[in-house]
Amino acid sequence: MDIKEKIKDIPHLPGVYIMKDSLGETLYIGKAKDLSKRVSSYFQDKRPKTLKLMSLVEKVKELDYVVTSSEEEALIYEASLVKEKKPKYNVELKDDKSFPLLKITLNEKFPRLTITRKKIDDGSRYFGPYTKAKLLRNAISILKNIFPLRICKKIPSESCLAYHIGQCLGPCVKRIDEKSYNEIVEQLILFLEGKKTRLIQELTGKMKECADKKNFEQAAIIRNRLSALLEVSDRKTADYSSWGNIALKLKKILRLPSLPLKIEAFDVSNISGKEAVGSMVYFNNGLPDKSNYRKFRIKSVRGIDDYAMMREIVRRRYQRLKEENKRFPDLIIIDGGKGHLRAAYEELLKLSLDYIPAIGIAKQEEKIYTLGSQEPLDINRDSEILHFIQSIRDEAHRFALKYHHALRRGAWQKN
């Protein structure tokens, strides 16, 4: 595809763009608040160009991009990619100007996250450099809410305000041990390395492991961190100017009978079967329509049985739509792999609604499964189609976690 044609498919969302030559070598990596506007600006004939920019544009034959939740996250991901790929044209991070860095003080018993402009051999872990100091300060405030490491230079003998407002885990008053604290440090490092999907998977696994061991307090703490991470990671699809192209591609790759203009996605959330809930989010023309979101308190399932829970919420949703003679969606997305998808399909079959297209997105490898196929679809991990499906799945997961959290909090307050 011609570069200018490919630009038309790039969404108006924050993210990182990657320019490559004809051999697939990375030439330049940049970030943007609006990917479409930023990338297209390089190829506008009327825009004045420096010799360096002219040289870059002439060599660009391929374009990749990764959508992020915010410009702040794009800043962090850009730096990790630049460090990994070392693109020829990213010289601005190699000049004499002192750009800010993120520093994790691994040389300390309970490491801190700070901003610095000097990199010294002191046993700390450094990330960056970052080109925008203001964006970095915004990013670090977000990170401290998700990964509440201590902020004091010297550990005090009593708790401070940060601990009481939930922005520090209180190592000073022994509210957390060194091992557990370092696990959070490792999670932060994964995020700064741009390995967000892996981090979400690890947190989900850790939460279930704690729940299986009946360590419900720790499971709830991890659930809250996961929920906060998903809130930050929620991709804002409301600005998809190229939604028409995405709908067409979805129709083609999923072999849908019509354009998927109305999409519903389902997820379940529980800790060892307690306060089990389900969620359904509704997207209309690529946009989330929160007025049509639905939440379900699981009624018919006892214990841990995700398949049965999925059956219940799918049955309740579409039985009601059928009774009320309302429009059914053009596509159903199930959070889960082949087993979850099969469970949902069997309920649709009982309601004589098995003609509604449904897909599942497996949690571990982010693979898309369709009915009637044992193998996942062959979709590039950087594909905007996969990102779009992930964004809807993530929203369903966030909504389920939020409801589950509210019920758990209510049950705790009653005791």
Burial bucket for residue 218 (CB in 10 Å: 0-12, 13-18, 19+) = middle
Query: Are residues 307 and 402 located together in one domain of the fold?
Result: yes
Query: Looking at 187, 212, 227, which one is the last position of a domain?
Result: 187
Query: Are residues 178 and 56 located together in one domain of the fold?
Result: no
Q: What is the pLDDT of residue 163?
A: 73
> Tell me: the pLDDT tens digits for 95-138?
445 688 899 999 998 999 988 888 889 999 998 888 778 888 87
Query: Looking at 89, 123, 143, which one is the last position of a domain?
Result: 89
pLDDT interval class at 357 (50, 70, 90): very high
Q: What is the mean pLDDT of residues 202-222?
A: 81
Which residue blocks in 255-374 are alpha helix, DSSP H?
A: 306-323, 338-350
- The domain that contains 381 carries what CATH number? 3.30.420.340
Answer yes or no: is pLDDT of 415 > 60.
Answer: no
Q: What is the mean pLDDT of residues 330-353?
A: 94
Of 385 and 349, more confident: 349
Query: Are residues 178 and 270 located together in one domain of the fold?
Result: no
How many whole angstroms separate alpha carbon 106 and alpha carbon 121?
Answer: 11
* Phi, then psi, of 369 in degrees rounded to 5: -115, 145
What is the number of structural domains in the chain? 3
Burial bucket for residue 213 (CB in 10 Å: 0-12, 13-18, 19+) = exposed
Q: What is the pLDDT of residue 148?
A: 84
Answer yes or no: is pLDDT of 142 > 80.
Answer: no
pLDDT interval class at 212 (50, 70, 90): confident
Query: Are residues 378 and 247 located together in one domain of the fold?
Result: yes
pLDDT interval class at 13 (50, 70, 90): confident
Q: What is the pLDDT of residue 48?
A: 64
Query: Are residues 38 and 127 located together in one domain of the fold?
Result: no
Q: What is the mean pLDDT of residues 67-71?
A: 78
Question: What are the residues whose beta carbons fall under 8 Å from the beta carbon of 329, sequence distance 6 or more?
Answer: 262, 263, 264, 282, 356
Q: What is the mean pLDDT of residues 350-367?
A: 89
Least Cα distance to 150 among 184, 196, 190 occurs for 184
Query: Are residues 276 and 375 located together in one domain of the fold?
Result: yes
Query: Are residues 29 and 174 located together in one domain of the fold?
Result: no
Which residue blocks in 147-298 are alpha helix, DSSP H?
A: 161-164, 178-192, 196-212, 216-233, 243-254
- The domain that contains 50 carries what CATH number? 3.40.1440.10
Answer yes or no: is pLDDT of 349 > 90.
Answer: yes
Q: What is the mean pLDDT of residues 191-197?
A: 80
| Amino acid symbol at 207 | M
Q: What is the pLDDT of residue 138?
A: 79
Q: What is the mean pLDDT of residues 148-157?
A: 83
Q: What is the mean pLDDT of residues 304-314?
A: 91
148: how many CB neighbours lie within 10 A of its CB?
Answer: 21
Query: Are residues 109 and 72 located together in one domain of the fold?
Result: no
Range of the domain at 104: 96-187
* Phi, then psi, of 278 in degrees rounded to 5: -130, 160
Q: What percent of the chain has pLDDT over 70?
A: 88
Q: What is the mean pLDDT of residues 189-197?
A: 82
Q: What is the pLDDT of residue 352?
A: 94
Q: What percent of the chain has pLDDT over 90?
A: 24
